[in-house]
Amino acid sequence: MNFARLATNAKRLHMSDTTIGLATRPTAMIDPFGRTISYLRVSVTDRCDLRCFYCMSEDMTFLPKADLLSLEELDRLCSAFIAKGVRKLRLTGGEPLVRRNVMSLIRSLSRHLDSGALDELTLTTNGSQLARFANELHDCGVRRINVSLDTLDPAKFKTITRWGDINKVLDGIEAALAAGIAVKINAVALKNVNEDEIPALMEWAHGKGMTLTLIEVMPMGDIGEGRIDQYLPLSLLRTRLAANYTLADLPESTGGPARYVSVGETGGKLGFITPMTHNFCESCNRVRITCTGTIHTCLGHEDASDLRKPLRASTDNELLNATIDRAIGTKPKGHDFIIDRRHNRPSVSRHMSVTGG
C-alpha cells in the first residue's frame, strides 16, 4: 500500500469537504426508522484457513481475486463511512488475518483513531494467525477483538473446523492478552456438538478475564447439511446454566444483538446472541460491506447495493456518498430468519463468510 498517496488523498478529500462547502460535506446516515448508523463491519476477504461446518462447505468456492476490493479501495470506502459518522469499525471475513498485507490496511485505518474520528477499530478472527499479529495490532490501536472458538477439545475443534489446530488459536489468544488486547470469545451453540461443554468454556474464558458470547446458528448459505440438526435455542442453554450458576441480567449498552448477564460464581460476563428467538432489530446501528464492496443493511435480508462501481467511477466521493445514502434509505425494519422442518434451507442465500457475521 502506498501510504504517501493515501495521505495525499486523505488531505485532498478533507480539503474538498471544507473548501467546497456544506453542500458536499458528507451527511450522517440515518435510516427510515430513525436509527443512526455508527457501526460498520467490513469483510476484507471471503477466504479462510478453516472450514467450520456451520459456515462453509468443505469445497467452498471463493470469489475470483479480481472481484475483491484492493486494500486502497477498502481504506477509501471505510474512510468515507467514517466521514459519514461511523465511530466503530470491525474488520471480519472469511478470516481477516489471511488477507495478504491486511496489517497495512489496519495501520492505515488507525489514523482515524489518532484523529479522534473513530472510537474503535476491531476485528473478528478465528485466532489462527493471531500469535504473529497481536503486538502489531495493539500498536495500531486495536484494544479489543473477538475470537471465535466453539470448543476446548482439540479433536472436536478439528471436526468443527474440518482441519484446524486448536493450539494455534490458544496461542493466539494468549498473545493477544499478553499484548494488552481484551479478548471476547464467540462460540456458536451447536446441538449434540458443544452443548455439554458450554459451562467449561465459560469457566475457562472467565478465568482469563474474557467475556463469552454464545451465538445461535443462523440459516445463511447452503452448507450441504440441514440447519435443523445444528440449531440449539439459547433459551434452553440459559435455563440449563441457571440451574448451576447465578445469572443476573445486565443493562444493554452496545445497540447490538447481544444480551449480557453477569455470572455470580465466576464474576464474568456471558452474552447471548439470539437472532432466531429474540428480535434485536429496533436498536440496530450497523451496516455491513462485503469484500467486493456490496453493502448489506441487514444481515437477515437479501437487500444489497453495489458500492464498488461508484467507488471506481470517480476519485472524489460524491457519487459514493449518494449511493451510500440511497442504500441506508432501504435499511429494513427487521429480519425474518426461519429454521424449521418446512423451511430446511437457508433463508438468506449468502454465506456468513461473505457478509462476515
Contacts with ligand SAM by CB under 6 A lie at 48, 54-55, 92-93, 95, 124-126, 148, 186, 188, 215, 217-218, 220, 352-353, 356-357
**Nearest-approach distance from CB 223 to ligand SAM, in angstroms:** 7
**Nearest-approach distance from CB 2 to ligand SF4, in angstroms:** 29
Q: Give the angle subtended at the CA of 347 by the CAs of 283 and 239, to the nearest 5°.
A: 60
**Window 55 to 94, contacts with ligand SF4 (CB under 6 A):** 55-56, 93-94
Region from 12-20, 43-51, 111-119, 299-307 binding ligand SF4, contact rule CB under 6 A = 43-51
Residues 183, 185: Cα–Cα separation, whole Å: 6
The nearer residue to ligand SAM, 74 or 188, going by C-beta atoms, is 188
Q: What are phi and psi of 312, to 5 degrees?
A: -85, -15
**Nearest-approach distance from CB 305 to ligand SF4, in angstroms:** 23
**Nearest-approach distance from CB 318 to ligand SAM, in angstroms:** 32
**Nearest-approach distance from CB 293 to ligand SAM, in angstroms:** 18
The nearer residue to ligand SAM, 36 or 344, going by C-beta atoms, is 344
Region from 51-59, 115-123, 234-242, 250-258 binding ligand SF4, contact rule CB under 6 A = 51-59
Return the one option of ligand SAM, ligand SF4, none that residue 51 interacts with (CB less than 5 to 8 A, by type).
Answer: ligand SF4
**Window 87 to 126, contacts with ligand SF4 (CB under 6 A):** 93-95, 126
Check binding of 353 to ligand SF4 (CB under 6 A): yes
CA 219: distance to chain centroid? Answer: 17
Return the one option of ligand SF4, ligand SAM, none that residue 215 interacts with (CB less than 5 to 8 A, by type).
Answer: ligand SAM
Q: Angle 130-139/102-109 helices, nearest 10 degrees?
A: 20
CB-based contact 173:127 (threshold 8 Å): yes
Return the one option of ligand SF4, ligand SAM, none that residue 218 interacts with (CB less than 5 to 8 A, by type).
Answer: ligand SAM
**Nearest-approach distance from CB 92 to ligand SAM, in angstroms:** 5
In which order are the strands placed within the sheet that holds 88-92?
A: 247-249, 258-263, 269-273, 211-216, 182-189, 144-148, 120-125, 88-92, 39-43, 286-289, 294-296, 305-306
**Nearest-approach distance from CB 161 to ligand SAM, in angstroms:** 9
Check binding of 327 to ligand SF4 (CB under 6 A): no
Distances from the Cα of 54 to the Cα of 46, 193, 197, angstroms: 15, 11, 18
Size, binding site for ligand SF4 by CB under 6 A: 12
**Nearest-approach distance from CB 49 to ligand SAM, in angstroms:** 9
Task: Using the Cα atoms of residue 149, residue 150, residue 156 and residue 159 in order, give the sign of their dihedral.
Answer: negative
Return the one option of ligand SAM, ligand SF4, none that residue 293 interacts with (CB less than 5 to 8 A, by type).
Answer: none
Q: Which residues in this chain contact ligand SF4 in the complex, by CB under 6 A?
A: 48, 50-52, 55-56, 93-95, 126, 148, 353
